[in-house]
Chains A and B, each alone.
Chain A
Amino acid sequence: MINALIIDDEPINIINLQRLLEQHCPGVAVTGTAKSAREGITAIERQQPDLVFLDIQMPGKSGIDMLKELPAPNFALIFVTAYDQYGIQAVKFAAMDYLLKPVDPEELKAAVNKAATAIVQKKQQQQLQYLVEILQQGQQKEEHRIALPSLKETRLVYTKDIVRCESSNSYTHFFTADGEKITVAVSIYEYEEMLTPYGFLRCHQSHLVNKKFVKSIVKESGGYLLMQDGSTIPLSRSRRDELKKGLI
């Protein structure tokens, strides 16, 4: 049985999650609840949970702030949030799982299953570390890293080292500056949203490029981008003018 802790300031939410877990995730036993970040820290220390459901927005200290204070977190973590752009950004960068309220039981099951796998493989700590690292990243955007969970491992990559992303169905291939290719099972749509603030541009339905690696805009044969690594990236016909503006 997975020993789970729910941290949420709203009792009805705790009850809700408890009932959902009872119904859909028989492998999870909710052994504790906490109504604030402060209570949560105590509960984690006392209970040593395998899995924590954490609300991001809580009065006083937020779920994110709470994580920063934990000395050596060693549990699988699933964020539960209604709506929090700032918090979600870090969670996404760390490739952590999160659930949106109201909670979809299917998503809950998938997240719990993933967490269960991580717990079995003892990988839960690593993922948390990524998050903590990302949370502790400074204001310098250049130094920001993103977690790329490939099939074998999760890689922390500097956004400035990513040349481009290419989509292939629900997978996304990352091409880094040193010629490496990392494939993750996340749609390119997710990364467009995450990487746009870092100078990335969706130039084509299947392509997301880092603007600083664009060598030239070639006009012939409908127009394409020549990247510094020699690759050529097609330009979406309908958005060509807009793209050129964005590139220049």
Chain B
Amino acid sequence: MKIWIRLLLLMLLCDGMPANAQLIVKTKLSTHFLLPGINMTLSNNFVHGTHKYTPTYIALPYDDEYFTVYGKQTILSGFKSDSTLDLDEYSGSFYWDTSRVDANAFLFEDLQSRYFINGTLVSNWQYIDKMPSFKDSAIKFKTAPHELGTGFWMVKDSLNIGDSMLIEFRRNNGAPFLRLHLKRENAYTQPFMMCRRDDSSHAELSFISSELLQQDNQVYNSLFYHDWPGSGLACNNLRISARNKMAFYFRKDNDKSKDSIFLYRILGGRYKDTSWQKTDGLVLMTALNDNAHYRLEVKYADGRGTLSTYTFYTPPLWYQTTWFKVMLIAIATILLLLLAFISRVRNNKRRIKYLQLEMQALHAQMNPHFLFNALSSIQGLMNDGQTDKANKYLSGFAALLRGAVSQGSKEFVPLRVELKNLNNYIELERLRFGFQYSNTVVAGLPADEINMLPLLAQPLIENAAKHGLSGKRDNGILHLDITREQTDLLIWVTDNGIGFDTRKPPAGRGISLTQERIALFNRMNKHRKIILDISSSAEGTRCCIRFKNWMDND
């Protein structure tokens, strides 16, 4: 049962519809009565049949039929049931007589009709085939002349809201046998969106001004079906670009003043205001965010009808998408792993460097100058007959050598061992350079437990002896002092030598070696730190190695 009808549209167009009318719902439903002798079509923008019987067929005796209509234009047309005619395009609700008692019960030529509006007779009884006729595109001659058949307008009128229409039929001045009752109700159940415009090319202000200029055309001057029910354009989870600016036009309401026909609000994205705004038909939405969901709600300001709701969303930007976030996490994880790996490699490198420096430190102490000069000094003592002294220095020298051989791979040595090594070293230097030497160690230090970096102070002592004190002989004084400040351990190397310019880079390898070892140690340790401070003047040099948090047992 799929026959399309163009009849109604044709009629509407004939009725002077402007060409620019925007039809949102193109197909109107009509109601067709297929009776013996006559086929009738009731056309209104919107019709609800309220037939007493089953809505799909009617049968004799005919009685009153009731319809609620929502459209203004109301047309009842008919044409003669004729075997030479063919129905072309018909759609809508159909009523046809299934009883068919008498195929000629209603001879088309005998049929008359009249109609009332609100009880007032508008058109009195008249034979239908005498009524205004038109070429009905819904019917066509099967045989020659193959043209459109002729239809007749029984009613071609308009109904206002609340109007009722009664159409009566009779045969040859007999009693009416069929009555159609039409009542027009208000169909404005919700705001009706006529059109929607996107724009991404204009700046916001020019977009707004151009839309405002369009407003009169779009809303007030459009001859839209002002009585067409429904909500108009649907807008359900529509995808739009955040760069777009949106304009929505709602159908004007004939009876209302221009201002504040509607209330609307936009929710989502940057729109945080949930209060209702007034509008007379134009809603603008110009500030859209990416990756947001929006909801436009429009209702009549006077509270009629229901709410029209439109939803749409803006797609996420590439960095707002889920896969991107997943990728980000993945990349971050990989990066972290990589960093961890690099840091491990670097730590290993540091460790190697550290050990290298340790070795160099030992080497610095066991440098050939020192070795051979020390041996030479001992030879001098021997040849001078100072056998006891020679013995003492020889064993000191042996201890240092032993340390170098056995402690070569050790990262730390106990403070006691370190002090002994330094003393041995100083005594041997003293033998060469003849300075005075004293050392003090603060009482109560757990010298066997405190770990020291082996020979860290040795280059400082070597410097003091070689550069500071060597010219002074007996007048030279060297102090080695171990003190404590809270949890810090301090080693002081003080001499009264000639001093040097601390701003200049250190001449010998010794001090820079110490500085490198300290820097590396500090990089590898968070809690314990070593700080080297050297101050020097013509009166002497004072070096302080501060072992920060060294006495902290954590």
Neighbouring A residues of B376 by C-beta, 8 Å? 10, 12-13, 16, 82, 101-103
Interface-central residue, B371, B373, B466, B470, by most chain A CB under 10 Å: B373
A11 CA to B432 CA, complexed, in Å: 8
Q: Confirm or deny: A83 has a beta carbon within 8 angstroms of a beta carbon on chain B.
A: yes
Interchain Cβ contacts under 8 Å between A and B, 20 examples: A11-B434, A13-B376, A15-B383, A15-B384, A16-B377, A16-B379, A16-B383, A16-B384, A19-B380, A19-B384, A59-B466, A60-B471, A82-B371, A82-B372, A83-B369, A84-B369, A100-B372, A102-B375, A102-B379, A103-B379
Most buried by B among A13, A19, A102: A102
- Measured between alpha carbons, how far is A13 from B378 in the docked complex, in Å? 9
Question: Do A15 and B369 have beta carbons less than 8 Å apart?
Answer: no
Q: Find chain A residues with CB under 8 A from B377 CB.
A: 10, 12-13, 16
A217 at the A/B interface (Cβ < 8 Å)? no
Question: B372, A16: Cβ atoms under 8 Å?
Answer: no
Task: Count contacts on A: residues with CB < 8 A to the other chain.
Answer: 21
Which residues does chain A contribute within 8 Å of B444, judged by CB atoms? Answer: none
A9 at the interface (CB under 8 A from B): yes
Interface centre among A13, A16, A100, A103, by most chain B C-beta atoms within 10 angstroms, is: A16
| Nearest B-chain residue to A19, judged by Cβ | B383
Q: Is the CB of B433 within 8 A of A10?
A: yes
Does A127 lie at the interface of the complex (its beta carbon under 8 Å from any beta carbon of B)? no
Q: Are A59 and B383 in contact (CB under 8 A)?
A: no
What's the dominant secondary structure at chain A's contact region?
A: loop
B102 to chain A, nearest CB (A): 127
- A101 touches which one: B373, B466, B467 (CB < 8 A)? B373
**Alpha-carbon distance A20/B383, docked complex (angstroms):** 7
A167 within 8 A of B: no
Bound-complex Cα distance A102 to B368 (A)? 12
Which of A10, A15, A36 interacts with B432 by CB under 8 Å?
A10
Q: Chain A residues near B471 (CB, 8 Å)?
A: 36, 59-60
Question: Does the CB pair A10–B373 fall under 8 Å?
Answer: yes
Task: Check B368–A16 contact: CB distance below 8 A.
Answer: no
Q: CB within 8 Å of B: which residues of A?
A: 9-13, 15-16, 19-20, 23, 36, 57, 59-60, 82-84, 100-103
CB-CB under 8 A from B381, the residues of chain A are 12
- Contact B368–A83 (Cβ < 8 Å): yes
- What is the CA–CA distance of A13 and B433 in the complex, to the nearest angstrom? 11
* B interface residues (Cβ-Cβ under 8 A, vs A): 368-369, 371-373, 375-381, 383-384, 431-434, 466-467, 470-471
**Contact across chains for B372 and A12 when beta carbons are under 8 A apart:** no
Please state if A13 and B380 are interface contacts (CB–CB under 8 Å): yes
Docked CA distance A221–B217 (Å): 110
CB distance from B303 to the nearest CB of A (A): 102
Which 8 residue pairs are nearest across A and B when measured between Cβ atoms? A16-B380, A101-B376, A12-B380, A82-B372, A19-B383, A102-B379, A83-B368, A59-B470
Residues of A close to B467: CB separation below 8 A: 59
How far, in whole Å, are A59 and B375 apart by their CA atoms in the complex?
19
Report chain A residues within 8 Å CB of B470: 9, 59
Name the distance in Å between A201's Cβ and chain B's nearest Cβ: 27
Q: How far is the CA of A75 from the CA of B384 in the complex (A)?
A: 27
Nearest A residue to B385, CB-CB: A19
In the bound complex, CA of A186 to CA of B333 (Å): 69
A235 CB to closest chain B CB (Å) equals: 34
CB distance from B112 to the nearest CB of A (A): 128
**In chain B, what residue has the closest Cβ to A83?**
B368
- Check B434–A102 contact: CB distance below 8 A: no
Which residues on the B side are within 8 Å of A16 (C-beta)? 376-377, 379-380, 383-384
Query: Which of the listed residues B371, B377, B381, B434 has the most CB atoms from chain A within 10 Å of its own CB?
Result: B377
Given contacts A15-B383, A83-B369, contact A102 B378 (CB under 8 A): yes
The answer to whether A82 and B380 have CB atoms under 8 Å apart is no
Closest to B431 in A: A12
Docked complex Cα distance between A188 and B521 (Å): 47
Contacts of A101 in B (CB 8 A): 372-373, 375-376, 379
In the assembled complex, which residues on chain B have CB atoms less than 8 Å from the CB atom of A23? 383
Q: Which residue of B lies closest to A102 (CB)?
A: B379
Which of A11, A12, A23, A60 has the most chain B CB within a 10 Å cutoff? A12
Asked whether, in the complex, the Cβ of A82 is within 8 Å of the Cβ of B368, the reply is yes
Bound Cα distance from A84 to B376, whole angstroms: 14
Known: A9-B470, A12-B384, A59-B466. A82 touches B378 (CB 8 A): no
Q: How far is the CA of A12 from the CA of B373 in the complex (A)?
A: 10
Please name all residues of chain A whose beta carbon is closer than 8 Å to the beta carbon of B383 when the two chains form the complex.
15-16, 19-20, 23
Bound: A12/B376 CA distance, A: 8
User: How distant is B391 from chain A, measured CB to nearest CB, in Å?
Assistant: 15
Contact A15 B380 (CB under 8 A): yes
Chain B residue at smallest Cβ distance from A36:
B471
